[in-house]
Amino acid sequence: MTIRSQQELEAFVKETVNTCPVTDIHTHLFAESFGELLLWGIDELLTYHYLIAETFRFLPELSYDKFWNMSKKEQADLIWNTLFIENTPYSEACRGVVTVLNRLGLDLSQRDLEQYRAYFRSQNTKDYIDHIFELSKVKSVVMTNDPLDDYERACWMEEAPRDPRFLAALRIDPLLNQWSSSWSKLKDQGYPVEEELTSQTISEIKQFLHDWIKRMDPLYLAVSLPDDFAYPEESVRSRLINECILPVTRETGLPFAMMIGVKRQVNPSLKSAGDSVGKSDIGAVERIVSQNPDNKFLVTMLSRENQHELAVTARKNRNMLVFGCWWFLNNPSLIEEITRMRLELLGGSVIPQHSDCRILDQLLYKWDHSRQIIAKVLCDKYTDLFQAGWRLEEEEIRQDVEDLLGGTFWKFIGRPEPQ
Ligand code: FIX
Ligand code: ZN
């Protein structure tokens, strides 16, 4: 059916974006078979590292040690009192908790943490997972899978039946960023490697990757890279990329996902909340993608200052797909600015957002909040077309939205989208 007015257009776009099933291409969520790695519930939501960082800002007297020695419940109590009772929770991460409680139908008027706890205690994991997927209209999430994590590795070795909603991504940070401490872990898994990158070590690392690709069936290989990431360079990382990662991803047809611009542990006292951001050299991205045209790259950058040049680089290299507003960019004002710019430069050949959820329930807020902005930006783009005389069919809009919320990703990786 043809859209006849701007009002019709707005209503249809909002409805379509709000109800379209999403493929969430980067999260830290896990299926139930991964046991304690799957996090959900109010105490997990409150102790999200984004909120830990915010809490310390309001409590200058609180010692880091005192906080880290508290139980999770005590930490959650302190965070709730500080950020939600003594202050107004309008930061994006705080607002997220409010959205989650609201979407679960909990009573926000009482601000009663014990009542929320009682609700979560009454849920069983299996049904709760189903409930969150249904409520958030997320179809599938891509996990972050580390074969060098002992607990996670044991889960994979059990070969439990897979939950098709939880897809794998082979994460290789320890390999590329901490080879000096990771090589012995490969050795422990039975690969005869040494710290020096001899030809045997290179071929064993490739074997390790092939074996884990077979075991996990990942959709891509992924790494986070520091703000000073350089390519090419005289370094262990560059050698590992050139001699192991690029050949293996080329042979298997899997994309190499690079998440660039993180300054790890600028404040180690904050532990998992202690990472920061730095502007990176887009030249490194240009070189790696253009010198390897037979490889596919998924790229996101953490710094706002890198966003425009990243989109321009994608225009020049069709083997690269830009994805998501990562971490400190996952805020309404920045998502809007970045999404608008990307759609103007790249049309629908982009993945506007991923959630980066660490806690299952966060799917509710991260996607609710992002959908609102994607719908707003799309409405503006369609309105511009409408005013220029272009008439759109509902079906065309539906297709655009499906592509932005998953289809473009599946086409890029060359797999049929699971139905
Ligand atoms: O490296 C990553 O995948 C980051 O997204 C995380 O490590 C980070 O801690 C995070 O949760 C960001 O949202
Ligand atoms: Zn992440």
Over the stretch 151-167, which tens digit does the pLDDT of each residue have?
Answer: 999 999 999 999 999 99
Residue to substitute in 47, 224, 300 for testing ligand 1 pocket (most ligand atoms within 8 angstroms of CB): 224
- Give the whole-angstrom CA distance, residue 371 versus residue 136: 11
Contact by Cβ (8 Å): 320, 297? yes
Residue 384, classed as helix, strand or coil, is: helix
The protein residue with its alpha carbon nearest to ligand 1, atom 2, reads 224
Q: How far is the centre of ligand 2, averaged over its atoms, from the C-alpha of 110 (Å)?
A: 33
User: Is the CB of 328 within 6 Å of ligand 1?
Assistant: no
User: Is the CB of 358 within 6 Å of ligand 1?
Assistant: yes
Structure confidence by residue, pLDDT tens digits, 119-146: 999 999 999 999 999 999 999 999 999 9
The rounded percent of the chain whose pLDDT value lies above 90 is 100
The rounded percent of the chain whose pLDDT value lies above 70 is 100
Contact by Cβ (8 Å): 185, 162? no
Q: What pLDDT does residue 319 have? A: 98
Q: How far is the centre of ligand 2, averaged over its atoms, from the C-alpha of 223 (Å)?
A: 10
User: Is the CB of 224 within 6 Å of ligand 1?
Assistant: yes
Residue to substitute in 28, 45, 266, 357 for testing ligand 1 pocket (most ligand atoms within 8 angstroms of CB): 28
Q: What is the mean pLDDT of residues 4-22?
A: 96
Q: Token pair 């049309």 is at which residue? A: 347
Structural domain boundaries in the chain: 21-360
**Of ligand 1's atoms, which has the minimum distance to the CA of residue 327?**
13
User: Is the CB of 146 within 6 Å of ligand 1?
Assistant: no
Q: How far is the centre of ligand 1, averaged over its atoms, from the C-alpha of 267 (Å)?
A: 16
Structure confidence by residue, pLDDT tens digits, 355-396: 999 999 999 999 999 999 999 999 999 999 999 999 999 999
- Give the whole-angstrom CA distance, residue 6 versus residue 218: 42
- What is the Cα Rg of the chain in Å? 22
Contact by Cβ (8 Å): 176, 184? no
Q: How far is the centre of ligand 2, averaged over its atoms, from the C-alpha of 12 (Å)?
A: 32
**One-letter amino acid identity for 295?**
N
User: Is the CB of 300 within 6 Å of ligand 1?
Assistant: no
Cis, peptide link before residue 232, omega less than 30° from 0: yes
**Of ligand 1's atoms, which has the minimum distance to the CA of residue 326?**
13
Contact by Cβ (8 Å): 184, 138? no
Residue to substitute in 356, 357, 369 for testing ligand 1 pocket (most ligand atoms within 8 angstroms of CB): 356
Q: What pLDDT does residue 379 have? A: 98
Q: How far is the centre of ligand 1, averaged over its atoms, from the C-alpha of 327 (Å)?
A: 7
Structure confidence by residue, pLDDT tens digits, 178-218: 999 999 999 999 999 999 999 999 999 999 999 999 999 99
Which homologous superfamily does the CATH classification assign to the domain defined by 21-360?
Answer: Metal-dependent hydrolases (3.20.20.140)
Residue 419 pLDDT > 90: no
Q: How far is the centre of ligand 2, averaged over its atoms, from the C-alpha of 160 (Å)?
A: 24
What tokens does 395 get?
A: 């079906």
Pairing type for strands 170-171 and 297-301 reads: unpaired
Contact by Cβ (8 Å): 152, 189? no
Q: What is the mean pLDDT of residues 20-46?
A: 98
**Closest-CA residue to 335 (of 374, 367, 308):** 374
- Give the whole-angstrom CA distance, residue 278 versus residue 263: 6
Residue 257, classed as helix, strand or coil, is: strand
* 254 burial type by CB count under 10 A (0-12 exposed, 13-18 middle, 19+ buried): buried
Q: How far is the centre of ligand 1, averaged over its atoms, from the C-alpha of 152 (Å)?
A: 17
Instruction: Please give the full DSSP string across 34-91, using - where no structure is assigned.
Output: GGGG---SHHHHHT-HHHHHHHHHH-TT--HHHHHHS-HHHHHHHHIIIIIISS---S
Residue 2, classed as helix, strand or coil, is: strand
Q: How far is the centre of ligand 1, averaged over its atoms, from the C-alpha of 299 (Å)?
A: 14
What tokens does 24 get?
A: 């969430």
Q: What pLDDT does residue 69 have? A: 98
User: Is the CB of 327 within 6 Å of ligand 1?
Assistant: yes
Q: What is the mean pLDDT of residues 311-323?
A: 98
**One-letter amino acid identity for 85?**
I
Q: How far is the centre of ligand 1, averaged over its atoms, from the C-alpha of 8 (Å)?
A: 39
Q: What pLDDT does residue 418 have? A: 87
Give this prediction's pTM.
0.98
Q: What pLDDT does residue 99 have? A: 98
- Average pLDDT over the chain reads 98
User: Is the CB of 356 within 6 Å of ligand 1?
Assistant: yes
